[in-house]
Chains A and B, each alone.
Chain A
Amino acid sequence: MNNTNRFLNRTFSFIVGLILAAVGVGVILVVTIPQVRDAYKNTAPTVLDNVTSWFVAAPIPGLQHSWWFIALIAALVLLIILLMVFVFRQGHGHTGTLFTNTPTGQGHITVDSKVAEQLMQSALNEHTELVSSRVSIYEVNGTPVLKISTTARRGVSPKQIVEDVEDTLASLNVLLGRDVPAAVQIGGGFRAATSKPARLR
Chain B
Amino acid sequence: MSENAALYRRIKRRETHSSRSVLAITIAVIVILASAYAITEMVLHLAGQPALVSDMLGVAQAIAGLADYTAGIVIAVGIVTALIGLVIMIVSLTAGRRARHLVETEKTSAVVDNAVIASGLARHAAFAGNISPDNVTVSVSHRSAVVTLTPAIGAAIDINTVTAAVQEQLDSYALIPKVRPRVVIDEQRNGGS
Question: Which residues of A does B touch, CB under 8 Å?
Answer: 1-2, 4, 6, 8-14, 16-28, 30-32, 37, 40-41, 44-45, 47-48, 51-52, 65, 69, 72-73, 76-77, 79-80, 83-84, 86-87, 90-91, 140-141, 143, 145, 152, 154-159, 161-163, 165-166, 169-170, 181-189, 192, 197-198, 200
Contact = CB atoms under 8 A, between A and B. Distances in A.
Contact of A13 (B20, B35, B80, B117): B20
Contacts, number: 254
Contact of A183 (B11, B36, B84, B133): B11
A79 B29 CA distance: 11
A157 B120 contact: yes
B64 A87 contact: no
Interface of A is mostly: helix
Interface string B117-154: 10110111001000001000000000000000000000
6 closest Cβ contacts across the A-B interface?
A24-B82, A20-B85, A21-B85, A17-B88, A24-B81, A27-B78
B21 A9 contact: yes
Given A13-B24, A24-B77, A141-B10, 4 more contacts: A1-B11, A87-B25, A158-B117, A185-B110
* B contact residues, range: 35 or more
Contact of B27 (A16, A47, A186): A16
Interface stretch (B42-50, B155-163, B183-191): B42-50
B122 A13 contact: no
A200 B124 contact: yes
Contacts of A76: 35-36, 38-39
26 contacts: A9-B24, A10-B93, A13-B92, A14-B92, A18-B85, A19-B85, A20-B84, A23-B85, A24-B79, A24-B84, A27-B81, A31-B66, A47-B64, A48-B61, A52-B60, A69-B45, A69-B46, A76-B38, A76-B39, A79-B31, A141-B6, A141-B7, A155-B122, A184-B108, A184-B111, A189-B113
B103 A158 contact: yes
Nearest to A72: B42
B173 to A, nearest CB: 5
Interface of B: 4, 6-8, 10-11, 14-15, 19-21, 23-25, 27-29, 31-32, 35-36, 38-39, 42-43, 45-46, 57, 60-61, 63-69, 71, 74-75, 77-89, 91-93, 103, 105, 107-113, 115-117, 119-120, 122-124, 127, 133, 169, 172-174
B141 to A, nearest CB: 15
Given A19-B85, A80-B35, A197-B123, A1 B14 contact: yes
B89 A14 contact: yes
B19 A4 contact: yes
Contact of B7 (A87, A143, A157): A143
Contacts of B110: 158, 162, 165, 183-186
B10 A20 contact: no
Contacts of B88: 13-14, 16-17, 20
A23 B81 contact: yes
B87 to A, nearest CB: 7
A10 B171 CA distance: 36
Contact of A77 (B39, B45, B119): B39
B85 A17 contact: yes
A20 B20 contact: no
A184 B109 contact: yes
B96 to A, nearest CB: 9
Contacts of A186: 103, 110-113, 116
Contacts of A40: 66-67
Nearest to B6: A141
Contacts of A4: 19, 21
